[in-house]
Structure 1
Amino acid sequence: MSELSSDVLEAETPADRLASLGITLPASPPPVANFVTHVFEDRLLYLSGQGPREADGRMHRGKVGADVSVEEAYAHARLTGINLLAVMQEALGDLTRVRRVVKLLGMVNAEPDFADHPAVINGCSDLLVEVFGDKGRHARSAVGFGSLPGRITVEIEAIVAID
Structure 2
Amino acid sequence: MSAESRLTELGLVLPASPKPMGNYVPWRIGGGLLFLSGVGPRQADGSSVVGVVGDDLDVAQGYAAARLCGLNLLANMRDALGSLDRVDTILKVLGMVRGTPDFGHQPEVINGCTDLLVDVFGEAGRPARSAVGMGSLPRGIAVEIEAVVLLRG
Same fold by TM-score, threshold 0.5 exceeded? yes
Amino acid at match of 1:116: H
Task: Give the Å deviation of 1:13.
Answer: 1.3
Cα-to-partner distance string for 1:34-87 (whole Å, 9 max, x where unaligned): 100000111000000000001221100000000101000100100100000000
> Alignment partner for residue 51 of structure 2, among 56, 62, 75?
62
C-alpha separation between the residues in 2 aligned to 1:34 and 1:56?
A: 24
1:47 aligned onto 2:36? yes
Give the Cα–Cα distance (whole angstroms) in 2 for the partners of residues 15 and 162 of structure 1.
15
Structure 2, gaps ≥5 residues long: none
| Cα RMSD, aligned residues only | 0.6
SS in 2 for 1:158: strand
Local SS of the residue matching 1:34: coil
Tell me how far apart the structure 1 counterparts of residues 46 and 53 of structure 2 sit (CA, whole Å): 21
Select 1:29's aligned residue among 18, 42, 63: 18
Corresponding position of 1:137: 126
State the Cα deviation string for residues 4-25 of structure 1 (Å, max 9, x = none): xxxxxxxx21122111222101
User: What is the Cα deviation at residue 162 of structure 1?
Assistant: 0.3
Deviation at 1:153, TM superposition (A): 0.5
Runs of 4+ that moved beyond 3 A:
none
Aligned amino acid, residue 148 of structure 1: L
What is the number of residues matched between the two proteins? 152
Alpha-carbon offset, residue 100 of structure 1:
0.3
Does 1:125 pair with 2:108? Answer: no
The whole-number CA distance in structure 2 between the counterparts of 1:135 and 1:89 is 16
Q: Which runs of 5+ in 1 are unaligned?
A: 1-11
Matched, 1:111 2:119: no
Letter of the 1:137 partner, please give it. R
**Partners of 1:150 and 1:21 in 2: how far apart?**
31
Q: Identity over aligned residues, as a percent? A: 56
**Distance in 2 (alpha carbons) for counterparts of 1:109 and 1:162:** 31
1:84 matched to 2:56:
no
State the TM-score, normalized to the length of structure 1: 0.92
Residue 4 of structure 2 corresponds to 15
Which residue of the other structure, out of 71, 83, 86, is the alignment partner of 1:97?
Answer: 86
- Alpha-carbon distance, 1:134 to partner: 1.0
- How does the TM-score come out when normalised to structure 2? 0.98
